Amino acid sequence: MAVTAMDVYKLLPKTNCAKCGEASCMAFATKLVDMETDIELCTQLEADEFDKLADLLAPAVREITIGKGTKAMIVGGDEVLYRYELTYYNQTPLVIDISDDMDEAAFDERVKEIEEIQFERIGELLTLDGIALRNRSGDALKFKEAAEKLKSSSRALVLCSFDADSMKAALEVVGDERPLIYGATENNIEEMAALSLEYDCPIALFVPNDLEKMKELSRTLRAKGITDIVLDPGTYVNTGIGDTLDNFIMIRRLAVDERDEDFRFPIMGVPALTWLNTAEDEVNTAIKEATIAATLINKYADIMIIHGTEIWELIPVLTLRQSIFTDPRKPQAVDAGVYEIGELNEDSPVALTTNFALTYYTVEGDLKSGKANSYLLVLDTVGRAVDVAVAGGQFNGKSVADLIKESGIENIVKTRKMIIPGLAAPISGEIEDDTGWEVVVGPRDSSALADFLKEKV
Amino acid sequence: MDKITQLLKLLENTDTIELNEFRMDFEELELYLMPAIQQVVQQAATVKEAIPTEEFKPPIHNYSGEVAEVQLGAGSRKHVFLGGQKALYRFEEPQPNPPVVTFDVFDIPMPGLPRPIREHFEDVMEHPGDWAKKVVKDFGANMVTIHLIGTGPKVMDKTPREAAADIEEVLQAVDVPLVIGASGDPQKDPVILEAAAAAAEDERCLLASANLDLDYRKVVKAAVDYNHAVLSWAITDINMQKTLNRYLMKEGLTQNDIVMDPTTCALGYGIEFSIDVMTRTRLAALKGDTDLQMPMSSGTTNAWGSREAWMKKEEWGPTDYRGPIWEIVTGLTLMLCGVDIFMMLHPQSVKMLREIGETFTKEYMTTEVPDISNWITQLE
């Protein structure tokens, strides 16, 4: 099923002209398969070959843009069922709902909240991506007015109404911003499809728990020449989550394994439905919503509508998204060696950590925010965290001794004393023996390291 | 027979048959359709589908291998079964056994436990028996993990005899199966596990763990001698896992006596490595790799080591909620990769995980679902 570099190479000019920046056509083909370059860079392709190649290289799941310019969200584009096979593309946008019948102050407050929520992790600022305007009032004019207000927001839009008149009214004011039309159902598909074509906007197809019907309606949309479709097979949050998972997985399997044209589209999950007739209090409902969001992000949701905006609910979802979408082909590691934090001299303390990117950035961040002055020795553990590297044998006396030698730290400082992570305590003796340095076992979590350096060293 | 011939004649030019006001009463009914009728009916069906829609077919795969089933609990214990999957997803074939949660209990009061957990167990932490009783009675634990942390040379250096006494206390207190963990000291663990295994003879506990850093032969021997299963622990490395499993089977265990722990990296702390290893392990099992066909375990409690779970920080919101969610999302993610048994700490996390896990044994489209067709206007 997967396209190989050889399949691609056959369609290339095979002249090795190198104008694309690669040494040979074969090298270019390899990069194309890994989606690390663009076919447009090949200047010698005939139009005919270009189309064939574009078709061959099209991802299993269509990539769709919602919104424009700085507001754009890119959804879909996936090529595989499991991340280890390649990588997942385009982090699942998190879209927060807002309803058109809120009073003005509350409406503005919520928009502001959505725009301002952020959480920093491993040097990356994690934020929310879009706003889903719900036509809760059922009134076309109200929907239009609310849509107009959202024009000034910095986030992409999803317009939620099953009423074609309301949808049209809203599109009249924001139709040029490429909002996602949500959505077409069995009952309104003709009218909604016409709007999608008229305004050139992507459209979501909502067919709860009926893939047979979904396939049929997807076909209907495709037959009209609509190419940017998002599939919502319904999100059930209680025992129905089993069906929802099945539906999501089946859609993705049909797209990737069987290239079923009716299902080669991004999938939408709506964890916000957790709040529909919930029997639980707010805290428990929010915990449940985060759970549903995590479930769906794990199994192929390409875009999600969420209701809760509590930061403690969103942090785990944002973190999971960041983790799942890291590229497994690139080691999450920083270079080993000596790093300098703060103002240093030859009597400055020396702390030790691993080169797992998350570990390194966490320790670095903690030392900086704690205003510590310290050398940081970074050990090559092939990108593994402290406890994992200790258990796995990459973090041991000998490897630390080698690091001391190769880094030249003994020429930089006079001290022969090192603070090691608390989680490396079991090998403290071994490190002392192999390096000849005095070893001090530091805290288990680096949030306490800056104070530890000031008080104990 | 005449009637049938007439009927066939009638059907000749018919695409579909509609029955009106039809009623049948019977005690027992056997239907034999003559091939001729079958053919006509099939033809009618074909004609109906000649419209240019393409039929929807669920993408069901055939798997050449299956996951072994491991029984935990015997003798005076209830029985719990892990594994036994013949397919990856329930729409292909529902899992025979739902994922199981085992609650962590310790042989010492564990001063380091985060507050949201301590507050549930403050009254029972002095006695592992009481602690175990509470997790079973109040929180419906299917199983209990007793961690013999106190046997660590740098903790309390409890003797194998003391460890055996703790095991006896827990065995007396509850009737669910036990996971028995030691302190993580490669020299002492096998000795402790041996003493614990003897104290729990024929109760079929899970001994945690055997790994390449300790005398796994001793652990296997204890399991074989006293009828227990063994947790086979590798560090996010599928090849290490294969090797270890092979060694364990060479020493006398079968697939049905082993549970694998491929290592749980917590959410935000390398969970993607665990996702990849567990996914590949389960796929290998279903493809027929006999070295990897055992059920999988997750030390989900690792989630509590993440600072997002426990660190006080105003702008992140209350730890009371952050901790349980961190444990839920960590466990849940790995449950979706095929993990069969979860070692957990917080009652609410356990409840949420179980709710989703229990759907794994049900057939597709057999549960009642609410009408969500008007969610846009109905949602508050």
Say what the pLDDT of residue A46 is: 84
Give the pairing of strands A180-184 and A203-206: parallel
CB of B194 within 8 A of CB of B220? no
Question: Smallest Cα–Cα separation from A304: which of A420, A434, A180, A428?
Answer: A180
Instruction: Using an 8 Å CB-CB cutoff, list chain A residues near B95.
Output: none
Contact B378 A276 (CB under 8 A): yes
Q: Write out chain B's pLDDT in tens, 380 residues.
A: 466 566 666 666 666 666 666 666 666 656 555 555 555 554 444 443 334 668 899 999 999 999 999 999 999 999 999 999 999 999 999 999 999 999 999 999 998 898 889 999 999 999 999 999 999 999 989 999 999 999 999 899 999 999 999 999 999 999 999 999 999 999 999 999 999 999 999 999 999 999 998 999 999 999 999 999 999 999 889 999 999 999 999 999 999 999 999 999 999 988 999 999 999 999 999 999 999 999 999 999 999 988 899 989 999 999 999 999 999 999 999 999 999 999 999 999 999 999 999 999 999 999 999 999 999 999 98
**A241 closest CB neighbour out of B267, B324, B359:** B359
Instruction: Return the DSSP state at B238.
Output: H
Say what the pLDDT of residue A56 is: 82
Q: For the domain with range A337-456, which CATH number is right: 1.10.10.10, 3.90.550.10, 3.40.50.920, 3.40.50.11600?
A: 3.40.50.11600
Contact B364 A246 (CB under 8 A): yes
Q: Please name the residue of chain A whose CA is at the shortest distance from the CA of residue B61.
A: A253
Say what the pLDDT of residue A196 is: 98
Contact B235 A392 (CB under 8 A): yes
Domain residue extents for chain A: 5-57, 63-324, 337-456
- Beta-bridge partners for B131: none
Report how far residue A415's alpha carbon sits from residue A169's, in angstroms, rounded to the nearest whole number: 73
Whether pLDDT at A406 is above 70: yes
**What is the homologous superfamily of the domain A5-57 according to CATH?**
Electron transport complex subunit B, putative Fe-S cluster (1.10.15.40)
Per 3-state DSSP, chain B is made up of helix, strand and coil in percentages (nearest 5) of 45, 10, 45
Whether pLDDT at A307 is above 50: yes
Instruction: Using an 8 Å CB-CB cutoff, list chain B residues near A250.
Output: 58-59, 91
Tell me if chain A has a CB within 8 Å of the CB of B201: no
Say what the pLDDT of residue A236 is: 97
Residues written for chain A: 457
For range A416-421, the mean pLDDT: 95
Q: What pLDDT, in 10s, does the model give residues A101-135? A: 999 999 999 999 999 999 988 878 999 999 999 99
Say what the pLDDT of residue A456 is: 76
**A320 closest CB neighbour out of B333, B355, B367:** B333
Q: Which residues contact B354 (CB under 8 A, 6 or more apart)?
A: B98, B99, B101
Amino acid identity of residue B198, one-letter, is: A
Distances (CA, A) of B298 to A403, B236, B343, B361: 33, 12, 6, 19
Contact B372 A121 (CB under 8 A): no
Q: For the domain with range A63-324, which CATH number is right: 3.20.20.20, 3.20.20.60, 3.40.1160.10, 3.40.190.10?
A: 3.20.20.20
Say what the pLDDT of residue B340 is: 98
Report how far residue A408's alpha carbon sits from residue A390's, in angstroms, rounded to the nearest whole number: 23
Chain B nearest C-alpha distance from A450 (Å): 16
Q: Please name the residue of chain A whose CA is at the shortest distance from the CA of residue B365.
A: A243
Say what the pLDDT of residue A332 is: 79
Tell me if chain A has a CB within 8 Å of the CB of B236: yes
Tell me if chain B has a CB within 8 Å of the CB of A262: yes
Structural domains of chain B in order of their starting residue, each with its CATH number: 2-14+27-48 (no CATH), 69-361 (3.20.20.20)
H/E run at residue B102: strand B100-106
Contact B375 A276 (CB under 8 A): yes
Neighbours of A142 (CB within 10 A): 18
Say what the pLDDT of residue A47 is: 83
Say what the pLDDT of residue B44 is: 46
DSSP E strand boundaries for B113-257: 143-147, 178-181, 206-210, 229-233
Report how far residue B112's alpha carbon sits from residue B125's, in angstroms, rounded to the nearest whole number: 12
Q: What percent of chain A has pLDDT over 70?
A: 100
Range of weakest confidence among A65-79, A197-211, A319-333, B209-223: A319-333
Query: What SS3 class is residue B38?
Result: helix
Contact B56 A320 (CB under 8 A): no
Between A and B, how many CB-CB pairs are < 8 A? 203
Question: For residues A77-96, b (16+ Cβ closer than 10 Å) or e, as one string?
Answer: bbbbbebbebbbbbbbbbbb
> What values do phi and psi take at B16, rounded to 5?
-135, 155
Q: Please name the residue of chain A whose CA is at the shortest distance from the CA of residue B233.
A: A391
Query: What SS3 class is residue B326?
Result: helix
Chain B nearest C-alpha distance from A240 (Å): 6
Q: What pLDDT, in 10s, does the model give residues A15-31? A: 999 889 898 999 999 88
- Beta-bridge partners for B145: B104, B179
Say what the pLDDT of residue B50 is: 38
Neighbours of B247 (CB within 10 A): 16
**B267 closest CB neighbour out of A236, A287, A323:** A323
Say what the pLDDT of residue A391 is: 83
Chain B nearest C-alpha distance from A322 (Å): 8
Tell me if chain B has a CB within 8 Å of the CB of A148: no
- Please state at what angle helix B160-173 crosses helix B128-137, rounded to 10 degrees: 30
CA dihedral B20, B24, B29, B33 (to 10 degrees): -20
Say what the pLDDT of residue B52 is: 65
Say what the pLDDT of residue B32 is: 58
Distances (CA, A) of B361 to A74, A236, B22, B331, B354: 36, 17, 37, 18, 12
HEC secondary structure over chain A: CCCCHHHHHHHCCCCCCCCCCCCCHHHHHHHHHCCCCCHHHCCCCCHHHHHHHHHHHCCCCCEEEECCHHHCEEEECCCCCCHHHCCCCCCCCEEEEEECCCCHHHHHHHHHHHHHCEEEECCEEEECCEEEEECCCCCHHHHHHHHHHHCCCCCEEEEECCCHHHHHHHHHHHHHHCCEEEEECCCCHHHHHHHHHHHCCCEEEECCCCHHHHHHHHHHHHHCCCCCEEEECCCCCCCCHHHHHHHHHHHHHHHHCCCCHHHCCCEEECHHHHHCCCCCCHHHHHHHHHHHHHHHHHCCCCEEEECCCCHHHHHHHHHHHHHHCCCCCCCCECCCEEEEECCCCCCCCEEEEECEHHHHHHHHHHHHHCCCCEEEEEECCCCCCHHHHHHHCCCCHHHHHHHHHHHCHHHHCCCCEEEECHHHHHHHHHHHHHHCCEEEECCCCHHHHHHHHHHHC
- Between positions 313 and 332 of A, the ones with CB within 8 A of B are 313, 315-317, 319-320, 322-324, 326, 328
Contact A208 B372 (CB under 8 A): yes
**B336 closest CB neighbour out of A84, A299, A392:** A299
Query: What SS3 class is residue B138?
Result: coil
Say what the pLDDT of residue B143 is: 97
Q: What pLDDT, in 10s, does the model give residues A226-276? A: 999 999 999 999 999 999 999 999 999 999 999 999 999 999 999 999 999
- Between positions 272 and 311 of A, the ones with CB within 8 A of B are 272-273, 275-277, 283, 286-288, 290-291, 294-295, 298-299, 307, 310-311
- Between positions 122 and 161 of B, the ones with CB within 8 A of A are none
Say what the pLDDT of residue A50 is: 86
Report how far residue A245's alpha carbon sits from residue A301's, in angstroms, rounded to the nearest whole number: 10
Measured in Å, how far apart are chain A's first and last C-alpha atoms? 59
DSSP E strand boundaries for B182-292: 206-210, 229-233, 258-261
Instruction: Return the DSSP state at B236.
Output: S
For range A333-361, the mean pLDDT: 92
Tell me if chain A has a CB within 8 Å of the CB of B364: yes
- Between positions 42 and 61 of B, the ones with CB within 8 A of A are 53-54, 56, 58-59
Q: Please name the residue of chain B whose CA is at the shortest distance from the CA of residue A206.
A: B373
- Residue A2: pLDDT band by 50, 70, 90 thresholds? low
CA dihedral A327, A331, A332, A336 (to 10 degrees): -160
Query: What SS3 class is residue B276?
Result: helix
Give the pairing of strands A118-121 and A124-127: antiparallel
Say what the pLDDT of residue A358 is: 83
> For all residues of chain A together, what is the average pLDDT?
94
Q: Give the residue, A366 or B5, on which the prediction is more confident.
A: A366
Question: For residues A366-403, b (16+ Cβ closer than 10 Å) or e, as one string?
Answer: bbeebebbbbbbbbbbebbbbbbbbbbebbbbebbbeb
- Between positions 237 and 266 of B, the ones with CB within 8 A of A are 237, 263, 265
Report how far residue A247's alpha carbon sits from residue B111's, in angstroms, rounded to the nearest whole number: 45
Amino acid identity of residue B241, one-letter, is: Q
Instruction: Using an 8 Å CB-CB cutoff, list chain B residues near A366.
Output: none
Give the pairing of strands B206-210 and B178-181: parallel
- Residue A321: pLDDT band by 50, 70, 90 thresholds? very high
